[in-house]
Structure 1
Amino acid sequence: MQIGELARRHGMSTAMIRHYERLDLFDPDHVVRAPNGYREFTEGASARIRLIRIGQQAGFSLRQMRTELAHWADGTMAPEERAALLRRQLATIEAKLRELRASRRLIRARLTELDGAERAAR
C-alpha cells in the first residue's frame, strides 16, 4: 500500500509516517520500492504503527521505541527483558506522577493565597 493509504488506515498524516521512517522505526522489509519508484508499505508497516501507538500510550518515547521496538517485535527480547523494560517504564511514570502531584499542591496553595488576597482587597 502507498503512504496515503497507510496514513488513512491509521488516522494519521503522511508526514508522521515519514517521521517514523526517518527515525528508523520500520524494518527494511516494511517499506519496498515499487518499479515505478514509489514506496510501498507492507502489512508489517501497519503492524509496526500499531505497536508504536501502543508504546506511545504506555509513555515510551520514539527514541526508546527505536532501540527496543525491533527486539520486542521480532521476538528476540526475552520475556524477562520485556518485564524489566515495562518495570522501568512503570517506575518512570510513577516518578512523573509524584512530580505532578507536587506541582498540583503548589498551584492549589498559590490559588488559595490569591483567593484570600482577593477577598481581603474587597
Structure 2
Amino acid sequence: MDYTPQSREFDKIEVVLMLIGELSKRTGLSKDTLRFYEKLGLITAQVRQAGTRTYMEFSPEALERIVMIKQGKSLGFTLNEMKYLIDTWGSVSMPTSEKLKIIDSKLEEIATKIQQLKEIQQYLTTKRNTVTQNQIEQLNQEYQKSSEEKLH
C-alpha cells in the first residue's frame, strides 16, 4: 500500500496523540517529570488551545523516547547524555569513533562505581562484624554477671 500524501490511503493513517495524563499513566512517570523532559527537549509535545486552556499532546514517538530514556537512566546515563544520544546516535553525523568513545567513557564510569560500591560493601561488612562482636561481648558480660549474682 502506498501511504504518501498523494495516495487515498494516507488519510486513513491515524496518529493517536495523548494528553500528559495518559502519557503519565503509560510510562509511570509523573506529569512534572514529563514536563521537565519536554522542557529539556527530550520529548516534544504539540500545543493545542481549547478556549483559555492549553493542552500538551504527545505522539507515540514520545512514548518510545521515554522508554529509551528510562533504559538509559537505568544504565547510568544522565539526562543530558540521553538527549545527546537521542539527538545524534542514529544520525550519520556521529562517527563510529565518537560512539565508541561514549561507550568506553560509560564503561570507565561503571568500573569506578563498582570499585566504590565494593569499598562501601567492605566497610559495612567490617562495621557489621564489629557491632556483632560487641553485642556478643556485651551478652557474655551480662551472662557472667547474672551467673555470679545467682551464686551469691
Do the structures match in fold with TM over 0.5?
A: yes
Q: Is the 8 A contact 2:38 2:45 kept in 1?
A: no
Write the distance in 2 (CA, Å) between the matches of 1:73 and 1:38: 30
Give structure 2 stretches of 5+ with no counterpart. Answer: 1-17, 140-152
Question: Using CA pairs below 8 Å that are at least 6 residues apart, which structure has the higher relative contact order?
Answer: 1
Select the residue among 69, 79, 103 that pairs with 1:86. Answer: 103
Write the distance in 1 (CA, Å) between the matches of 2:136 and 2:25: 54
Counterpart amino acid of 1:34? R
**TM-score under structure 1 length normalisation:** 0.82
CA distance 1:100–1:62, shift in 2 (3 Å): same
State the match for 1:77 in structure 2. Answer: 94
Matches within 5 A, 1:1-122: 1-26=18-43, 30-36=44-50, 37-74=54-91, 76-122=93-139
Q: Is the 8 A contact 2:19 2:58 kept in 1?
A: yes
- State the secondary structure of the residue aligned to 1:38: strand
Write the distance in 2 (CA, Å) between the matches of 1:9 and 1:18: 15
Write the distance in 2 (CA, Å) between the matches of 1:33 and 1:19: 15
Counterpart amino acid of 1:101? K
Question: 1:33-70, CA deviations, whole angstroms, 9 ceiling, x for partnerless residues?
Answer: 22534221122212211211111111111132233331
**TM-score under structure 2 length normalisation:** 0.68
Greater Rg over alpha carbons, structure: 2
Write the distance in 2 (CA, Å) between the matches of 1:13 and 1:78: 35
Aligned residues: 119
- State the secondary structure of the residue aligned to 1:7: helix
